[in-house]
Amino acid sequence: MRALSTHPDVVALQVERVRSQVNRLMWTGIVLGMAFCMTNVQEFGAEATEAEEWSPGWWAAWLLDPMVSLVLIAVVLAEQTTSRWQLATPAWARRARWATLGATYAMNTWKAWGALDLGQILLHSVPPLVVFVATEAAPEIRDRLTAAGIAAEPAVVEAAEPRAAAALEDADEPRGLPVASAVGGVRWEREELLSADPAARVEQVKDLIRGGLVPSVELTGSQVAAIFGQSPRTGRRDIEEAQRQLGMGQSEGADDQHRSAGMSTDPEHDGSSGGSGALVLVGPDRGATLGVGA
Measure the CA–CA gap between 246 and 263, rounded to whole angstroms: 13
- Per-residue pLDDT, averaged over 198-221, amounts to 72
pTM above 0.75, yes or no: no
Give the neighbor-by-neighbor strand order of the sheet with 289-292: 187-189, 279-282, 289-292
Measure the CA–CA gap between 213 and 208, rounded to whole angstroms: 5
Any idea how long the chain is? 294
Q: What is the pLDDT of residues 176-207, one digit of tens each?
A: 333 333 334 455 666 667 777 788 888 888 87
Per-residue confidence (pLDDT) for residue 287, from 0 to 100:
45
Q: How far is CA 50 from the centre of its chain?
A: 55
Per-residue confidence (pLDDT) for residue 290, from 0 to 100:
44
Q: For the stretch 145-183, what's the b/e string if a residue is b when 16 or more beta carbons lie within 10 angstroms of its beta carbon?
A: bbeebeebbeebbebbeeebeebbeeeebeeebeeeebe
- Per-residue pLDDT, averaged over 241-256, amounts to 63
Per-residue confidence (pLDDT) for residue 32, from 0 to 100:
95
**Which phi and psi angles does 196 have, rounded to 5°?**
-70, 140
Measure the CA–CA gap between 265 and 269, rounded to whole angstroms: 8
Per-residue confidence (pLDDT) for residue 211, from 0 to 100:
64
Q: What is the pLDDT of residues 130-170, one digit of tens each?
A: 999 999 999 989 888 888 877 766 544 444 445 545 544 55
Q: What is the pLDDT of residues 50-94, one digit of tens each?
A: 888 899 999 999 999 999 999 999 999 999 999 888 888 899 999
Amino acid identity, residue 57?
G
Grade residue 174 by pLDDT with cuts at 50, 70 and 90.
very low
CA distances for 23 relative to 17, 76, 81, 290, angstroms: 10, 11, 11, 49
Measure the CA–CA gap between 112 and 44, rounded to whole angstroms: 11
- Per-residue pLDDT, averaged over 31-45, amounts to 93
**Which phi and psi angles does 175 have, rounded to 5°?**
-110, 160
Query: Closest Cα to residue 246, out of 202, 214, 280, 292?
Result: 202
Mean pLDDT of the chain: 75
Could you tell me if residue 219 is left (phi over 0), alpha (psi between -120 and 50 degrees) or otherwise beta? Answer: beta
Quickly list DSSP for 194-252: HT--HHHHHHHHHHHHHH-SBTTB---HHHHHHHHT--HHHHHHHHHHHHHHTTTTT-H
Measure the CA–CA gap between 261 and 263, rounded to whole angstroms: 5
